[in-house]
Amino acid sequence: MRLLPLVVTVVFTVAVAYYIYIPLPDAIQEQWKLMLLDAGFRTAMHLASLKHWLGIDHYITSIRGSTSVFEGTMKGFMSSESGSAVIPGVKVSDIEFVGIPVRLYEPPAGGEGHLRRGLMYFHGGGWALGSGKKGSYDANNRIVSDELNTVVVSVEYRLYPEVHFPVPYLDCLAAAKHFLSPEVLAKYAIDPERVAVAGDSAGGNLAAAVAQEISLDESMSVKFSVQALIYPVLQALDFNTPSYIQNQHIPVLHRTLMVRFWLQYLGADLSLLPQLMVNNHSASHHSTITPELRSRVDWTTLLAQKYKKNHKPVTAEKGSNEDVKVPGLLDVRASPLLAGPEVLAKCPRAYVITCEYDVLRDDGLMYTRRLQDAGVTVTNDHIEDGFHGSFSFTTWPMEFDVGKRMFRGYLNWLQNNL
């Protein structure tokens, strides 16, 4: 009987290690930290699924609750350790732009006698999670404001399940138009020739879509001068690109989760997920998906060979499934990669971060290629040891060296190009 506690301890330890451990590519650094982070996120999702199944709470709102508790705990700890992200002199205000909540960061240098940069930021989170007011988003925007003498506006666009496409996009577009108005730029002493739009993941999707629309709007006297897209999600036609296959089990954005995010955003039936995983929603018999549209997301021609490797395209044939219909699938406001070359040619200069170990890698690489083909100057910062979400992992305890390098690269590019 004296061995029982030891046996129980060993079994429990092995079980926990088995749950936490996942095989990761050798190039990814700080692997156990990433495994622990992924295990925590998976646990939150499992609990959220259980609560949703029991009718206690919605899946997404439950995950929000779990992350809020964690962020609150970390904020309290950081404050007690004087690790707060507060930067003296940066003025932070929670206001509204045409009814849309935004957080405004004004640099300490002030605007008297000289104009400042401007930047509008859209946070990521699969159009369902996240807030620009929390965690690394808030910390990083404070740093941008301080170091680059920039007025930063972080937009709190509405999220699923309260809304779906096109509401988040329309929120961001309305906020962007207000920000770019001569009156608002003058109020905050912003140089109209030095205004950027940026975002990560789903926020990168929104930034790209908004940049396209603004560039086409002849009524706008001021347009964005640059765009910074951090591992953006840009298309929903092909969930079998080389990066979707290669990285389908890499934290923190698994392939099935990204497909689910798309279904939620577009207001589609979540039971369609298995169909989208095998590209039945974009089967060859769909007449609305023209050869021209397919060419705009054709990774076999848009990707370099080192990314294509030996992967083969997956195109469902007629008869695979006749009833897979996804609303908004071909809307360029949802899928900016589908925009025509005449639209891309008018877009601002771009900075695109892609990560080798990210299902969205190829979305960013294809958009880089298509923008360049349209004559737009693009800097593609490809992070060989990067994974999805790493740009946000810059503050303790979710602090990764790759995240700090990525954020510094973003800062440097803005410094030199905005």
Question: Per-residue pLDDT tens for 161-199?
Answer: 999 999 999 999 999 999 999 999 999 999 999 999 999
Three-class DSSP category at 187: helix
Q: Is the pLDDT assigned to residue 110 strictly greater than 80?
A: no
- Exposed, middle or buried: residue 112 (CB in 10 Å: 0-12, 13-18, 19+)? exposed
Structure tokens at 167: 């509401």
Does residue 201 come out as left (phi exceeding 0), alpha (psi in the -120 to 50 range) or beta?
left
Residue 80 has pLDDT above 50, yes or no: no
> What are the structure tokens assigned to 202, written together?
């789903």
Instruction: Tell me the C-alpha to C-alpha distance, in Å, between residue 238 and each of 290, 330, 350, 373.
Output: 14, 12, 24, 21
For the segment 315-321, the average pLDDT, to the nearest whole number, is 65
Quick one: which H or E segment has residue 305? helix 305-308
> Which residues are tagged catalytic?
201, 358, 388
- Report pLDDT for 6: 65
pLDDT of the residue at 5: 67
Residue 322 pLDDT > 70, yes or no? no
- Please tell us whether the domain made up of 91-235+329-416 is placed in CATH 3.40.50.1820: yes
**Which residue ranges make up each domain of the chain?**
31-69, 91-235+329-416
Res. 24 pLDDT band, cuts 50 70 90: very high
Label residue 287 by pLDDT band (50, 70, 90).
Answer: confident
Cα dist from 212 to 70, 77, 94, 203, whole Å: 36, 42, 27, 14
Cα angle vertex 201, ends 235, 398, to 5°? 150
- Is the pLDDT at 154 greater than 60? The verdict is yes
Q: Give the span between the Cα atoms of 74 and 66, in whole angstroms.
A: 13
Cβ proximity of 243 and 359 under 8 Å:
yes
Residue 230 to residue 138: CA distance in whole angstroms: 16
Q: What is the pLDDT of residue 78?
A: 46
Q: What is the pLDDT of residues 387-409, one digit of tens each?
A: 999 999 998 888 999 999 999 99
The pLDDT score that the predictor gives to residue 397 is 82
Residue 73 confidence class, pLDDT cut points 50, 70, 90: low
Average pLDDT over residues 355-384: 98
The Cα 138–Cα 103 span in angstroms is 9
Q: How far apart are the first and last CA of the chain?
A: 70
Q: Which pLDDT score is estimated for 353?
A: 98
Q: What is the pLDDT of residue 66?
A: 78
Return the pLDDT at 91: 96
CA distances from 402 to 12, 62, 361 (A): 32, 29, 16
